[in-house]
């Protein structure tokens, strides 16, 4: 078996990237490119599982690419490309649609959340999205996948699909079983308006999230308006169990300030939440606004962004084609 470590992950071009994408995924992407070979993909085929206006999708693909670069991904170190430009993703997804089981997909909670109460009206693509995600990863025989906690279930499904393929086609270890790399401290950043939901691009209220493009004023305003608690900050984390909004703000502060949650709670104990909010806005502005400025600069040169995607796509296609040849062979396709 090939023991080479290879990282793959993707981000949907469905709008402004936010603090959740940054802490749950992008920050990890950047540190991994120092240690391993990495492939990072703007997953445009995933985005269209929910209708996207074509002109908005086009711009969002470029903006997600710019966000990758602005947070520190280096196209000379990592392969950066958009999913639809390498047709092997769709081809392998079809093969894996035939390996994956309907019962497995029926257990996916993200489909239930995104389809809402009227599942009959959801696209077929949204339902089989996890099979495409498995194809994204297995097409490159990736061994490690940095994602936020919300993607854990999909990644487990990718492992099940890889295992079943290896069994069905009698090729033990052909596909490695990909390992999730989920941030330990803050794996799920919650909405600033309702901390029972994750921070998300598609949430209607812009006040629910900090976007990478937000100005210092916007960050300040959003943190001030964020839900917290009317009581003072307690000196024990256990007392925050039923206060998800307060816990979310403290978690974000702990992650950005690189201090343990316990230490942050002790530092803030007895203070009003307005005190935490002032400090939190300060460190967020320091961390996020330089990314936003770089992002705005990169967006002025769309042809540069397209060149990055094209070069990445050429590199990704070479690996994908080589693996697809072997996959077709295993399945018996001529
Ligand atoms: N709130 C979050 N906390 C931690 N990690 C998160 N991620 C997303 N939201 C959070 C991680 O970011 C990566 C890219 O996610 P995505 O854009 O491909 O899809 P998503 O998870 O569906 O993100 P959104 O923002 O909620 O998009 P929409 O609203 O379009 O569905 C993934 O690794 C994800 O775990």
Pocket probe mutation, ligand 1, options 9, 150, 185, 201, max atoms within 8 Å of Cβ: 150
User: CB neighbours of 119 closer than 8 A, spacing ≥ 6?
Assistant: 111, 112
Instruction: Compute, in angstroms, the gap from residue 325 CA to the centroid of ligand 1.
Output: 32
196 inside domain: no
pLDDT 10s digits, 88-142:
999 999 999 999 999 999 999 999 988 988 889 999 999 999 999 999 999 999 9
The pLDDT of residue 185: 83
Same-domain status, 150 and 214 = no
1 inside domain: no
Please check the confidence at residue 268 and state whether its pLDDT lies above 90. Answer: yes
Based on the number of CB atoms within 10 Å of its own CB, is 162 exposed (0-12), middle (13-18) or buried (19 or more)? buried
Question: Which atom, in ligand 1's list, is nearest to the CA of 209?
Answer: 1
The pLDDT of residue 131: 98
Same-domain status, 86 and 149 = yes
User: CB neighbours of 237 closer than 8 A, spacing ≥ 6?
Assistant: 247, 261, 262, 265
194 inside domain: no
Same-domain status, 64 and 11 = yes
Please check the confidence at residue 183 and state whether its pLDDT lies above 60. Answer: yes
Q: What is the DSSP string of 92-119?
A: HHHHHHTTS-HHHHHT-HHHHHHHTT-G
3-class secondary-structure state, position 189: coil
- The label of the residue with tokens 């490695």 reads 176
328 phi-psi bin (left φ>0, alpha ψ -120 to 50, beta other): alpha
The CATH number that applies at residue 212 is 1.10.240.10
Same-domain status, 220 and 171 = no
**The pair of three-digit structure tokens given for residue 252, joined into one six-digit string:** 């974000």
Please state, rounded to an integer, the average pLDDT across all residues of the chain: 96
Instruction: Compute, in angstroms, the gap from residue 2 CA to the centroid of ligand 1.
Output: 31
What percentage of the chain carries pLDDT values higher than 70?
99
Question: Which atom, in ligand 1's list, is nearest to the CA of 50?
Answer: 30
Question: Which atom, in ligand 1's list, is nearest to the CA of 15?
Answer: 30
| CA 39 – CA 141 distance, rounded (Å) | 11
Same-domain status, 217 and 280 = yes
- The model's pTM: 0.95
Same-domain status, 174 and 223 = no
Residues with CB under 6 A from ligand 1: 11-12, 14, 20-21, 24-25, 147-148, 150-151, 188-189, 198-202
Same-domain status, 306 and 293 = no
Instruction: Compute, in angstroms, the gap from residue 199 CA to the centroid of ligand 1.
Output: 8
Same-domain status, 39 and 182 = yes
| CA 246 – CA 227 distance, rounded (Å) | 7
The pLDDT of residue 220: 98
Pocket probe mutation, ligand 1, options 9, 151, 193, max atoms within 8 Å of Cβ: 151
198 inside domain: no
Q: What is the DSSP string of 290-323?
A: HHHHHHHHHHT-HHHHHHHHHHHHHHHHHHHHHH
Question: Which atom, in ligand 1's list, is nearest to the CA of 190?
Answer: 1
CA neighbor of 7 nearest in space, from 26, 191, 282? 26
The pLDDT of residue 2: 61
Based on the number of CB atoms within 10 Å of its own CB, is 289 exposed (0-12), middle (13-18) or buried (19 or more)? middle
Instruction: Compute, in angstroms, the gap from residue 148 CA to the centroid of ligand 1.
Output: 7
Same-domain status, 98 and 239 = no
Instruction: Compute, in angstroms, the gap from residue 10 CA to the centroid of ligand 1.
Output: 10
User: Rounded to whole angstroms, what are the CA distances from 9 to 6, 39, 103, 275, 322?
Assistant: 10, 7, 25, 37, 20
User: CB neighbours of 77 closer than 8 A, spacing ≥ 6?
Assistant: 33, 38
The pLDDT of residue 186: 82
The pLDDT of residue 163: 98
pLDDT 10s digits, 23-79:
999 999 999 999 999 999 999 999 999 999 999 999 999 999 999 999 999 999 999
Which amino acids are annotated catalytic? 114, 198, 201
| Residue 1: pLDDT band with limits 50, 70, 90 | low
Same-domain status, 272 and 141 = no
The CATH number that applies at residue 63 is 3.40.50.620
Please check the confidence at residue 3 and state whether its pLDDT lies above 80. Answer: no
Same-domain status, 130 and 229 = no
Count the domains in the chain: 2
Same-domain status, 179 and 30 = yes
CA neighbor of 293 nearest in space, from 209, 212, 222, 223? 212
**The pair of three-digit structure tokens given for residue 325, joined into one six-digit string:** 């040849």
Give the domain extent around 126.
6-187+302-331
């Amino acid at each position: 078996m090939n023991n080479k470590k290879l990282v793959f992950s993707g981000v949907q071009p469905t709008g402004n990237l936010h603090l959740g994408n940054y802490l749950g995924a992008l920050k990890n992407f950047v540190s991994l490119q120092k240690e391993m070979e990495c492939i990072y993909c703007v997953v445009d085929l995933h985005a269209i599982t929910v209708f996207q206006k074509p002109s908005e999708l086009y711009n969002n693909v470029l903006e997600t690419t710019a966000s990758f670069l602005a947070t520190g991904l280096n196209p000379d170190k990592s392969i950066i490309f958009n999913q639809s430009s390498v047709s092997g993703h769709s081809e392998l997804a079809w093969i894996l649609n035939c390996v994956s089981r309907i019962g497995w997909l029926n257990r996916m909670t993200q489909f239930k959340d995104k389809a809402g109460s009227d599942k009959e009206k959801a696209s077929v693509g949204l339902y089989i999205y996890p099979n495409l995600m498995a194809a994204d990863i297995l097409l490159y025989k990736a061994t490690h996948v940095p994602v936020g906690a919300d993607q854990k279930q999909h990644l487990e499904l990718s492992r099940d699909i890889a295992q079943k393929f290896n069994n069905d086609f009698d090729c033990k270890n052909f596909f490695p079983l990909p390992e999730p790399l989920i941030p330990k401290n803050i794996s799920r950043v919650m909405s600033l308006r309702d901390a029972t939901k994750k921070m998300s691009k598609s949430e209607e209220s812009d006040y629910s999230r900090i976007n990478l493009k937000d100005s210092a004023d916007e960050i300040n305003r959003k943190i001030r308006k964020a839900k917290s608690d009317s009581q003072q900050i307690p000196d024990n984390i256990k007392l925050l169990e039923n206060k998800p909004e307060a816990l979310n703000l403290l978690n974000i502060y702990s992650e950005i300030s690189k201090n343990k949650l316990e230490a942050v709670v002790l530092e803030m104990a007895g203070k009003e939440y307005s005190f935490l909010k002032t400090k939190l806005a300060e460190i967020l502005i320091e961390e996020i606004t330089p990314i936003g400025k770089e992002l705005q600069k990169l967006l002025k040169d769309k042809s540069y962004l397209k060149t990055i995607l094209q070069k990445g796509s050429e590199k990704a296609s070479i690996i994908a084609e080589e693996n697809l040849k072997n996959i077709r062979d295993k399945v018996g396709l001529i």
